[in-house]
Amino acid sequence: MVGSVHLTISDVNRSVSFYESHLGFTVNRRDDRTAWLGAGGSDLLVLSQCETAPRVRGTTGLYHFAILVPSRADLARSLRRLVMTETVLQGAADHGVSEALYLSDPDGNGIEIYRDRPRAEWPYVGGHLQMGADPLDFDNLLAEPAGPGAGLAPGTVIGHVHLHVSRLADAERFYVDVLGFDLMQRYGPSAIFVSAGGYHHHIGLNTWAGVGAPPPPPGAIGLRHFTVKLPTEAAVADVVRRARAGGVPVDPIENGHLVRDPAGNAIRIAT
């Protein structure tokens, strides 16, 4: 599963205010330049300030990170909060497997907030999972009874991360053959979705920034790294072994190992 997401932002005070008031995150701890945010105690998002960080387009990196709330009532509560705070939505969709809201933070980092449908309701065509992009029924969602509490519900997690990559074939080889994810769906010629355990996707990969897009310059606004959490140390060792066998550099870091996909996106592998 996906663990915490680490982002570079330009103003930690502004970002903390946004994530608290607009999305309902809780600040677990912070210092002058870094904030650790979550829901129910666990760290889901780490924000690191760099005032001079450039904001770039047309590169690989983060498309969006996705906040998975436990229930439809929790998604309705998130939507009401976004309306009350006059947050601009960039989109919304019913994907068949889930219902989702899309927006961005003050630095332009993409965010999805979503809830999953029960797996028994997921649409399959010819034995293959089929995610769509139908309009979201806002009125029906807002008719959900208001749940208790004001912030993000305990049990909220990072459900998936969606990345810009340079070339899909290279990304598929890395995430399937090296990291060990299963290919769940191809979305035309420009995106694929991979997961573990039959989930609809833990990682989305697209070339919508352009085939052959370069990585962002070091220190740019956006993704620093995200965590892929494996169940055992043996599973971590297997990934490290496959990475090294495939010529992928592996850097030991605190509580894990850092690898980069062929597009330069950084992933921390940990239990």
pTM: 0.96
Q: Is 94 exposed, middle or buried (0-12, 13-18, 19+ CB in 10 A)?
A: middle
Q: How far is CA 38 from the centre of its chain?
A: 14
29, part of any domain: no
pLDDT value of position 167: 98
Determine, yes or no, domain membership for 197.
Answer: yes
Q: Calculate ∠ Cα 32-37-41, nearest 5°.
A: 125
Tell whether 60 is covered by a domain.
Answer: yes
Residue 33, SS3 per DSSP: coil
Q: Does any domain span residue 107?
A: yes
Asked, for residue 35, whether it belongs to a domain, the answer is no
Domain count for the chain: 1
Q: Let me know if residue 188 belongs to a domain.
A: yes
pLDDT of 145: 87
Q: Which helix (H) or strand (E) holds 150?
A: none
Yes or no: say if 37 and 19 are a contact pair by the CB < 8 Å rule: yes
Question: Is residue 11 a part of any domain in this protein?
Answer: no
| CA 168 – CA 67 distance, rounded (Å) | 24
Kindly give the parts of the chain with pLDDT less than 50. Answer: none
Q: 85: domain range? A: 55-217+225-270
3 occurs within a structural domain: no
pLDDT value at residue 147: 67
Identify the CATH number of the domain in which residue 115 sits. 3.10.180.10
For residue 102, the model assigns a pLDDT of: 98
Q: Give the helix/strand (H/E) hosting 217.
A: none
Q: What's the DSSP call for residue 88?
A: P
SS3 187: strand
Of the candidates 73, 46, 65, the one whose C-alpha atom is nearest the C-alpha of residue 152 is 73
